[in-house]
A = this chain, B = another copy of it.
Amino acid sequence: MINQRISIVENILSANDRLASDNRQRLDSARLFSVNIMASPGAGKTSLIERTVKTLSNRLKIAVIDGDIATSLDADRAAAAGALAVQINTGGDCHLDAVMLQNALNTLELGELDLLIVENVGNLVCPAGFKLGTHSSVLVASVPEGDDKPYKYPGTYQGVDVLILNKIDLLPYVPFKMDYFKQGVQALNPGISTFPLSCLTGEGLSTWYEWVEIQVSRYRQATNST
């Protein structure tokens, strides 16, 4: 029975990979830089997106695609912050997949946008296994989750391009050994770009905003010259 389940999962994944690659082509044709934001529930994905949109929407035209198993709370917050917001209700599914993103892309004028932010379902296991076709994967960790998370969820920590450590304002109140956390991260993903910040106090956010703007501009230069 185990083998059968594995082969089913492999078939789903390879179909997903093909669609993810179609999504990437579409994004590239539209010259639209895109990020896939993953995290466990409550790490602060929505707050980060909200603040990013509020700060950058005067310079970049941003769309947010929000994956949730129910409700449109996150998309409402992204829209209120000034983004074009598309809600995907996965109907209980624990991750976004490339088909869901494809359907959401159909509702947007991709060529008119500068930045696409995809907010995945809050889950530290499954989303990392399903490519969407986005250009960059960002993991939002948070201080109160604890310093052992890289060790316990290696697949997700390994599979991302950028790490945000949110809620650093709580460092004085919780047991969190920064060295132990960093050691775990470095073992899995050496040299990964890391942004310690607080979406509550704003500390560290400007470096993250700069990173986003630089990525968008570098991506455009690269797609210009090809």
Binding site for B on A (CB under 8 A): 1, 5, 8, 12, 15, 40-42, 68-71, 73-74, 92, 94, 99, 121-126, 129, 142, 144-146, 148-149, 151-155, 167, 169-170, 173-175, 200
Is A152 touching B71 in the complex (CB atoms < 8 A)? yes
Report the separation of the CA atoms of residues A71 and B69 in the bound assembly, to the nearest whole angstrom: 28
Instruction: Identify which of B42, B74, B155 contacts A144 (C-beta below 8 A).
Output: B42
Is B69 touching A155 in the complex (CB atoms < 8 A)? yes
A203 to chain B, nearest CB (A): 14
Is B122 touching A152 in the complex (CB atoms < 8 A)? yes
Chain B residues within 8 Å of A69, by CB: 125, 152-155
Given contacts A94-B125, A124-B41, A124-B122, contact A170 B144 (CB under 8 A): yes
Chain B residue at minimum C-beta to C-beta distance from A126: B94
Chain B residues within 8 Å of A122, by CB: 40, 124-125, 152-153
Report the separation of the CA atoms of residues A155 and B93 in the bound assembly, to the nearest whole angstrom: 11
Q: In the assembly, how many copies of this chain are there? A: 2
Instruction: Identify which of B8, B142, B155 contacts A8 (C-beta below 8 A).
Output: B8
Is A42 touching B149 in the complex (CB atoms < 8 A)? yes
Instruction: Identify which of B144, B148, B169 contacts A167 (C-beta below 8 A).
Output: B144
Chain B residues within 8 Å of A145, by CB: 41-42
Given contacts A40-B42, A124-B41, contact A175 B152 (CB under 8 A): no
Chain B residue at minimum C-beta to C-beta distance from A69: B125
Is B73 touching A152 in the complex (CB atoms < 8 A)? yes
Chain B residues within 8 Å of A71, by CB: 151-152
Report the separation of the CA atoms of residues A124 and B145 in the bound assembly, to the nearest whole angstrom: 14
Report the separation of the CA atoms of residues A208 and B200 in the bound assembly, to the nearest whole angstrom: 31
Is B5 touching A152 in the complex (CB atoms < 8 A)? no
Report the separation of the CA atoms of residues A126 and B125 in the bound assembly, to the nearest whole angstrom: 10
